[in-house]
Chains A and B, each alone.
Chain A
Amino acid sequence: MKIAQDAEMRMLDQMAADFAAKELVEAREDHDRYPFLPLFEDVLAKAHEVGFFTLLLPEAAGGGEQGISALSLILDDICRSDASLGGIIFTTALAHEMILKAKSEALLPPVASGDHSYREALIACPSFDNPGEAGNLLQAKGKGKKHMLSGSIEYVVLAGLCGRALLPAKVEGDESYSLFLVDLTSPGVEVSEPVFSLGLHACPACDLELKGVEATLVGRQGEGRAYFDAAVDKMFLAAAAMATGIMKGSFTEAFEYSLQRHQGGWEIINWSEVRMLLASLAIKCKVADMLLSEACRAAEADEAGWGLGARAAAIHVQELACDATTDGIQLLGGNGYMEDYGQEKRFRDAKQIQSLLGLTPMKRLDYIRRIREGEKPW
């Protein structure tokens, strides 16, 4: 990725690429068969060891105190091989970021890898939702820091893997929702079997049923939306990085295949329509890389309007990834549709991550709302 310019970033880049090559590529097909085969727990433990689950947290909280560029770089590298691990990193980072925006890092227990398992480092949250759009939210009752939550919430990512979840819920009478930290082992919490989904099979989500479950308020009551909005611009970049990585993986696989597969008497790369498809895929990758790098740079520099740029990058790159991975399968023909190659998984994963952080059309409408409210479009 273009943002890997300085020595530290290049080192991170190399480390993530090596990790992906060593831990993710060979057993990708088996990893993707969760929940029908065991979860890749050994990989998750190693990912925790190298600090992938605590990248954004301050050092005091046991984190790597990295910025969005580092997170994006790592997600790009990881998702070229297997976006499921990327989804786990993303979801935990989103939860961490919202907690940090609520200035509630004190709620985070220490998570250093030597003393704590990867499960303790993870926090579940509904990372495919913008809770502000949802029709039904959990209900919260109580005052001060302790509340009781009731109701049901769908598709809480990582809920089956870890002990804690950051959940949105509405206190009766409040205009907007609040965020609560919930111990998923508490009495009254019912966690479903993993919800089998289109993509990111090894980044499972579960439905939750809560009946009077004690929960800790994160930040101020009624301010959940503010924390989500403050965190989400940065996380849009992380989502764009995942899409960029998937696209790059798809291109690499297709390019290598086109040099080996024969049709009509020679390697298929010699057919110009194949080269056109490859070029289109390569151009999409390049555009995504440049867009993401620039958006990360603007975010790190805290330039005016970087948030809109991050959203634009994510919406555009995620759409590119859906188209690119469709062609990525096509270039391998029937083989591309089979699980033996990584292309069909990338197609599913790209579409899955397009729904991160809420409905895509609503993200577009929200984009224009912000411009209408005075943010400069460029």
Chain B
Amino acid sequence: MGPNRSKALLEREPRFDDMAVSLLAMPRLPKAMVKETKQAVELARRFNDTVVRPYALELDRKKHEDPDFLPWEFVEEANRWGLYTLCIPTLFGGQGVNFPALSYVLEELGSACTGMSNLVGVHYLGVATLCASWNMRLMNKVMRDTAEGEKTGEPCLISLAITEPGAGTDVEEVDLVSKAQVACQAKKVKGGYVVNGRKIFISNGHLSYWHMLVCYEDLKNPQDTVIMLAIHNGMKGFSFGRQERKMGQKGCPASELIFEDCFVPDDLVCINPAQGKKLKRSMKETHMQVIDYIVAASRAGVGAFGVGVARGAYEEALRFAGETEVDGKLLINHEWAQCMLAEMYKNVAVGRLTYEEANYANDLLGMFKVLEWKPIFYYLKYMPKPIMDKVIQPFLNLGAVTWLFRKIYFDWQKETDYQCSSGWGSLSKFTATDIGVKNGQLALEMMGRAGLRHDRGAEKHLRDSKLLQIYEGTNQLNRLNLFKCLIGRDVPGARVFEE
């Protein structure tokens, strides 16, 4: 058996590189990630004890009572605790904790309150979107605003504005967006763009300062004319509309963003078709690469929310079973209850494995691959901050740096790279969020009417969990994306989104 034949066997579906991602990734990752992750989890647990748990039910009830309430107090507290710069690279003024650690943090926060976990996590969706353009100048500008906001005590969050009233799932897939009813348009004018349209369901919208706006130059040809703009509060023609009235995750606003002849100067263009022309692939393919970079990372994060809420429901049920007598003995001593708790524990553990594997895929092949390459990782970690800020930072404004990063991330990315990271992102997203809903349901079955009470916290986990099956692409879209990335590619005649 020669080496070529062995390689062919490993390329056969399921490809070894797709099925053993963690095995391949672990030796290549810096050991210091472990310590960083432990410290991040400690921070999240302290934050839960001090801030999240004492306030979670009060905030949820407050939003029931006043749907327009905005949780500034919480955001300012999270800002003080450094949660909005935790995973921003030191290169851009952040603390530089590795991105996969964020998933563990989000699980921790989600186990206490998924809404508050979102108030932190969705900011990093904005960060990931900005990063997926690999516009180093704007990445530096926007993320340094967040770092500055931490120093001044004025939170500077970043949101992603992509969903429209007529197009939800469609905007996350280029084959669908080509036929979608999108209406948010950016028209080229001298010195910039003029934007008109509305975006809805924008998590953290009202609470963010920067908004990564995805819109289109030509509404009849959106797949080839996508454009990403960095919008900030106070720009003429940009305003906030209503907050949606959601079933759960009430602490985290879902906002409407309105653009009426909003002029966006050229220096706030993250990426547009003109820049796309300089890349190897077509704009449509680059458009999908951008989406895949974002969702491969963000869907692992949503997986972590799912695990967090599943864990929260499990922990409420466990507490209840340990203190409640049913039919003459403690519930926890009923065999059926023990099996139900074991099932819930298993759900949490399985969900966690999926987001970990998705993150390994991102470490190896996706958005994190440069940052977690050992030389870069340690260089950024140990480079003194003044040198980073004064010597290295100015280089980020050079077009050559953006050119280099786009070369690495767009032109040199192999098809199998984004198939693996995007496929695992989707797998984690729908597995872990289905588990979140399942554990919410099981907890309430075990607790009966005690679980229905708002003041016990269990019912909130169920309400919160349901949104996770919907946003960041419905779980149906994510199943299709998994099919497209890791299943259908090897089946002659298989077509996706073409019914």
Contact = CB atoms under 8 A, between A and B. Distances in A.
Interface of A: 29, 33, 36, 128-129, 132-133, 135-136, 154-155, 195-199, 262-266, 270-274, 277, 322, 326, 329-330, 333-334, 336-340, 344, 347-348, 351-352, 354-355, 358-362, 365
Given A263-B169, A338-B246, A348-B247, 8 more contacts: A195-B453, A262-B166, A273-B476, A277-B476, A337-B247, A338-B247, A347-B247, A354-B445
Nearest to A195: B453
Nearest to A277: B476
B369 interface: no
30 contacts: A128-B448, A132-B327, A135-B324, A154-B449, A155-B452, A155-B453, A198-B444, A198-B463, A263-B169, A270-B499, A271-B499, A329-B466, A333-B168, A333-B474, A334-B163, A334-B254, A337-B466, A339-B246, A340-B245, A347-B247, A351-B441, A351-B459, A352-B452, A354-B445, A355-B445, A355-B448, A359-B326, A360-B448, A361-B336, A361-B340
B462 interface: yes
Given A36-B65, A339-B247, A361 B454 contact: no
A362 B470 contact: no
B277 interface: no
B467 A197 contact: no
Given A330-B476, A333-B474, A337-B247, A361 B446 contact: yes
B155 interface: no
A339 B453 CA distance: 20
B152 to A, nearest CB: 34
Contacts, number: 141
* Pairs of residues from A and B, 8 with the lowest C-beta to C-beta distance, nearest first: A265-B179, A135-B325, A128-B449, A198-B459, A344-B247, A339-B245, A196-B454, A359-B448
Contacts of B61: 196
Contacts of B471: 334
A273 B463 CA distance: 24
B83 to A, nearest CB: 25
Interface size class of B (residues with CB under 8 A): 35 or more
Contacts of A265: 178-180
Given A338-B245, A339-B247, A347-B247, A155 B449 contact: yes
Interface in B205-264: 244-248, 254
B448 A330 contact: no
A326 B437 contact: yes
A136 B396 CA distance: 68
A193 to B, nearest CB: 11
A270 B471 CA distance: 22
A205 B463 CA distance: 20
B449 A355 contact: yes
Nearest to A361: B336
Interface string B155-185: 0000000010011111000011011110000
A88 B181 CA distance: 43
A170 B463 CA distance: 36
B166 A361 contact: no
Contacts of A197: 452-454, 459
B64 interface: yes
Nearest to B458: A198
Contacts of A336: 470
B227 to A, nearest CB: 21
A365 B331 CA distance: 14
Nearest to A345: B247
B67 to A, nearest CB: 8
A337 B65 CA distance: 18
A264 B170 contact: yes
Interface string B173-209: 0011011110000000000000000001100000000
B298 interface: no
A265 B444 CA distance: 40
B117 interface: no
Nearest to B67: A339
Contacts of A354: 444-445
B452 A198 contact: yes
B474 A330 contact: yes
B469 interface: yes
A369 to B, nearest CB: 11
Interface of B: 61, 64-65, 163, 166-170, 175-176, 178-181, 200-201, 244-248, 254, 324-327, 336-337, 340, 437, 441, 444-446, 448-455, 459, 462-463, 466-467, 469-471, 474-476, 480, 497, 499
A281 to B, nearest CB: 14
Contacts of B474: 330, 333
B247 A334 contact: no
Contact of B336 (A199, A344, A365): A365
B466 A347 contact: yes
A334 B163 CA distance: 10
B475 to A, nearest CB: 7
A208 B469 CA distance: 38
A177 B126 CA distance: 59
A351 B445 CA distance: 9
Most interface-central of B163, B169, B448 (chain A CB within 10 A): B448
A279 B283 CA distance: 38
A64 to B, nearest CB: 29
Nearest to A334: B201
Contacts of B166: 262
A365 B335 CA distance: 12
A305 B65 CA distance: 47
B498 to A, nearest CB: 9
B306 to A, nearest CB: 14
A312 to B, nearest CB: 17
Contacts of A154: 449-450
A351 B462 contact: yes
Contacts of B340: 361
A362 to B, nearest CB: 7
Contacts of A36: 64-65
Nearest to A352: B452
Contacts of A270: 499
Contacts of B337: 361
A198 B163 CA distance: 28
A330 B437 contact: no
Contacts of A136: 325
Contact of B326 (A135, A326, A330, A338): A135
Contacts of B497: 264
Contacts of B453: 155, 195-197
A365 B163 CA distance: 47
A149 B64 CA distance: 36
A217 B167 CA distance: 62
A361 B201 CA distance: 38
A337 B326 contact: no
A196 B455 contact: yes
A199 B452 contact: yes
A348 B327 contact: no
B470 A133 contact: no
A127 to B, nearest CB: 9
